[in-house]
Chain A
């Protein structure tokens, strides 16, 4: 056991001291934090430049209908289009909205002139306002009060409740669950692949550098394999933990220095801009946001975090042993292809199918794939935010434990023979023979 500790220590320290590890550890959080911060900055940058918009309305339908906002100021002008165009060019106005006299009696065309790309939000605000106005005018012409139509429009808030065994009901909101499930399953998928292949490369390195026979004369091959797998698992956990801490840290620092008052406002603006394009959502906004918070509160984070860690580690252990076996069977990384496919297929399948499973997290397919150890680490995480009965969870977890014990045993048999084989093109039949040595 003492020797496994030594191996683990070496595997861990040599990797953690590598420049690539240090760079990735710091670059990862910077990228992740940037992903959160940049949209906020961009959204607030939009507010800085107020757009002066000249309106030439030959129909007179829209005079005074556009409302000035933080980022838009409308000026109704009665000059020739050409002269206003030149004023846009010399900077008096940022853009010109021109509504020509329609050929029929209803205006359906409008033109915008600008010397720069105009923001999507401005364009959609203008077209929404115009279509509303035309709609109202048409309704009035047909003798219908637009207010009746407005009050008839109803947005339905669909709140789903999930009944637990103990009779309590919990609010659930699919979008939040889908996001949580998919993100954790993708994280597990990448963790298994990135660190599993590190195990494989480590084994190949020991084989090609010919140090392995020196080492196995001091420790059993199985101990060497276990030490390597656990050492690299700790490297992965260290990196993951540092990412979480650093990302939170960078984001925290940013909110501290960036004038906290602006952030919620900027986020609200970003949200509001999206809603402007969909009039039906008006008024629903506030409730939806509240509902998300309620659902987030209803989610059992203890279960999610614990099972994430379990499947994160369990899935890695199951596959790392197989990756170690592949590494031991080949002479160079180029030869790994034929063995990589069957090993990575269940993982890829799990990830692909996850996208369908979110639509029916309690279906038969979801159930079976979350029970079978080869796919359960990826698939079960998609199901957990929706709530999984404890007996299924326990079954899946026990099978995963049995699964990685089995793959470790199986891999150990191939490994101990493989690491001492050189210059032989290994086939599946050959591997089968090694099992029986």
Chain B
């Protein structure tokens, strides 16, 4: 896959605080890239550098192979975490203003806005003042303004905060559609469920360092613990003893009312699922067998606390 945005050895220091430490990322074209990390990890600092709001102390950023310059502003759409609108301004007037700041001509901006307002069924808000709208309604307008100029790179910083579930779904659909249409999307969030649902790639950042990067499947694969959950119907009487004699760790053993057992076992890294099944077959009728892959949430917590311990012991 071609790289659309590449962050090369970027460092950003604030007075005596290192926000980003020699960080490199490759965001593939036409993908949804999850930028994960706890609060204060350096995500927003990095996003602001990509948006040219601040400049990096060291390193470079390439957009589609070109060094980032002011001309790229119109090719990037950004929905910040801290976002809002002028409260006293009318919705349509304001959307038009923000679109023109992105470099869109007035009449084209108006046409496109009307299209999106109709699509989200908010045409009659055009002449309302922003302060009359609910927070969710304002978020819809912010979303429209972010994508209106059809940017090739979209950056969403916690896009779902403050949305009700219906609008979250609406937004997810639109984000997926944008990727279909060819956009590259950077998605920064704490919401791990939406990461698994939407992201193709992720990078995990902590204390300004990248601690993990790859596709969601690769990462889950790399962090597998070889733990399996299975259910055995009509087990042999000696099942518990037999299981203990296998070269596996028995984590959980539950006997149900119908005498079937449900177990969780961890095998060593070398043996595959098939080998384990072979060992289990003599013990009864194997009715369920699946590998328990760690969730992104588990990986996130494990990785962040591991690096925090490391940096703590360094200090």
Point out residues on A near B: beta carbons under 8 Å.
Answer: 3, 6-7, 10, 14, 205-206, 209-211, 213-221, 416, 420, 422, 433, 436-437
Chain B residue numbers with a CB within 8 Å of A218 are 73, 98, 101-103
Chain B residue numbers with a CB within 8 Å of A416 are 54
- The interface-forming segment of B26-34, B83-91, B217-225, B278-286 is B83-91
Per-position binary interface string of chain B over residues 11-54, scored 1 when its CB falls under 8 Å from any chain A CB and 0 otherwise: 00011000000000000000000000000000000001001111
**Does B172 belong to the interface (CB within 8 Å)?**
no
Contact check, A214 vs B86: say whether CB atoms are below 8 A apart. Answer: no
Q: Which of these, B53, B83, B98, contacts A420 with CB under 8 Å?
A: B53
**Does B5 belong to the interface (CB within 8 Å)?**
no
Chain B residue numbers with a CB within 8 Å of A3 are 101
Contact check, A437 vs B53: say whether CB atoms are below 8 A apart. Answer: no
- 6 residue pairs bridging A and B, Cβ less than 8 Å apart: A10-B97, A209-B85, A210-B83, A214-B142, A416-B54, A436-B15
The 6 closest A-B pairs by CB, nearest first: A210-B84, A218-B101, A213-B80, A209-B84, A217-B78, A217-B51
Chain B residue numbers with a CB within 8 Å of A220 are 70
Q: Which of these, A7, A14, A213, A219, contacts B89 with CB under 8 Å?
A: A14
Instruction: Compute how far the CA of A221 lies from the CA of B56 in the bound complex, rounded to whole angstroms.
Output: 16
**A206, A209, A422 interface centre (most CB from chain B within 10 Å):** A209
Chain A facing B: main interface SS: helix
Instruction: Compute how far the CA of A220 lies from the CA of B101 in the bound complex, rounded to whole angstroms.
Output: 11
Instruction: Compute how far the CA of A420 lies from the CA of B157 in the bound complex, rounded to whole angstroms.
Output: 15
- A213 with B14, Cβ < 8 A, contacts A218-B73, A420-B53 known: no
In the complex, besides A14-B88, A214-B84, 15 extra interface pairs with C-beta distance below 8 angstroms are A6-B100, A7-B101, A14-B86, A209-B86, A211-B85, A213-B53, A213-B83, A214-B98, A214-B142, A216-B53, A218-B101, A416-B54, A420-B48, A436-B15, A437-B15
- A205 with B80, Cβ < 8 A, contacts A6-B97, A218-B102, A420-B48 known: no
**Does B203 belong to the interface (CB within 8 Å)?**
no
Point out residues on B near A: beta carbons under 8 Å.
Answer: 14-15, 48, 51-54, 70, 73, 76, 78, 80, 82-89, 97-98, 100-103, 142, 145
- A217 with B86, Cβ < 8 A, contacts A10-B97, A420-B48, A437-B15 known: no
Instruction: Compute how far the CA of A10 lies from the CA of B86 in the bound complex, rounded to whole angstroms.
Output: 11
Contact check, B86 vs A205: say whether CB atoms are below 8 A apart. Answer: yes
Chain B residue numbers with a CB within 8 Å of A216 are 53
Chain B residue numbers with a CB within 8 Å of A211 are 83-86
User: What is the minimal beta-carbon distance from A129 to any residue of chain B, in angstroms?
Assistant: 65
Nearest A residue to B85, CB-CB? A211
Chain B residue numbers with a CB within 8 Å of A433 are 15
User: What is the minimal beta-carbon distance from B53 to any residue of chain A, in angstroms?
Assistant: 5
Instruction: Compute how far the CA of A420 lies from the CA of B51 in the bound complex, rounded to whole angstroms.
Output: 13
Chain B residue numbers with a CB within 8 Å of A422 are 82
